[in-house]
Amino acid sequence: MDAYRGRSQTTKGIWIARCVGIEPFTIAMDLEGTDGRERGEDDTAFEKQSALFALAIADIVLINMWCHDIGREQAANKPLLKTVFQVMTRLFSPRKTTLLFVIRDKTKTPLEYLEPILREDVQKIWDAVAKSEAHKSTPLSDFFNVKVIALSSYEEKEEQFKEEVAQLRQQFFHSISPGGLAGDRRGVVPASGFSFSAQQIWKIIKENKDLDLPAHKVMVATVRCEEIAAEKLRKLSSDKDWLELLEAVQAGPASGFGKKLSSILETYLSEYDMEAIYFDEGVRNAKRQQLETKALDVRLTVLFNTFYYYLANSPQPTCIF
């Protein structure tokens, strides 16, 4: 926003980008403001959709709050908090999320006096929000880690503001370590499944369907584990060692066939295990079993036909055990 050209909407829709220079790999998502005049005061559909989307995929949710709004009943972000809490309790089970309040344009009032007031207001909103039967007595702490920081005014103390923002940015380094901003996260979707997961979540939200995250997690695991298993089968079919073993068998009974076949299969099963390790355990194990069965079925069919050919055409068939 250019202050000399007046005030206008700075973010439209949802923007997602990788954070440069931050480890572990971190994605930032910027949501359209909830109190802008562009959509009008009655158009809250997108506000609720974007809030639910953020809560479903984010480990950390930052909420900007003007310092002077703390303690005010009609503060700009009160409706947002109600929306956040309402959609969060629609989820099938608590998903630990860090709710980070960023107090803007702090005054001379020390943060240690402002933070308790803010936390009390947040607790009151949580207590007042209508919840499902399963979560009527669930405490706020089961859903959120609430943290509060304060920033100076950019216009009045630009250098100090930039220093404080740099300090805030440092908190995102190693954020998933114990004690980090996202140290208590649960129900994590592995990076390889994130794109598919996010697309499916947004589709469900747009269709106004209830979002069952545990069921969604199983669905993503099923799709990705099937893809990984299919890739391993394709690689196995062109594996050099396998082709050499097949060629040897076609020339006659191969010495050490069982041991060699087991070694080749174990290589691809191990690769599957490494790539699927962070997906749902039940799905992961079931797809591994299917991979092993399919690999043996396809390969043993070829080998059986080869042995049968030699046995049928041998003048003195030999029994092999």
Question: Could you read off the pLDDT of 129-151 as tens digits, one per residue?
Answer: 877 777 788 888 888 889 999 99
Q: How confident is the model at residue 319 (pLDDT cuts 50, 70, 90)?
A: very low
Task: Tell the CATH superfamily of the 3-186 domain.
Answer: P-loop containing nucleotide triphosphate hydrolases (3.40.50.300)
**Total Cβ atoms within 10 A of residue 6:** 7
Backbone angles phi, psi at 98, to 5 degrees: -85, 120
Helix (H) or strand (E) run with residue 146 in it:
strand 144-150
Q: How confident is the model at residue 162 (pLDDT cuts 50, 70, 90)?
A: very high
User: pLDDT tens digit string along 64-76?
Assistant: 888 888 877 666 5
Is pLDDT at 292 greater than 70 in this prediction? yes
**Cβ atoms of 313 and 291 closer than 8 Å:** no
pLDDT in the model for residue 63: 86
Is pLDDT at 303 greater than 70 in this prediction? no
Helix (H) or strand (E) run with residue 225 in it:
helix 213-237
**Cβ atoms of 226 and 288 closer than 8 Å:** no
What residues pair up with 15 in beta bridges, in sequence order? 30
Among 124, 28, 35, which Cα is nearest to 71's? 124
CA distances 269 to 1, 222, 234, 301, Å, are 53, 17, 13, 19
Domain ranges of the chain: 3-186, 217-313
Instruction: Give the mean pLDDT of the chain.
Output: 79
d(CA 200, CA 219): 10
Average pLDDT in the 92-109 region? 82
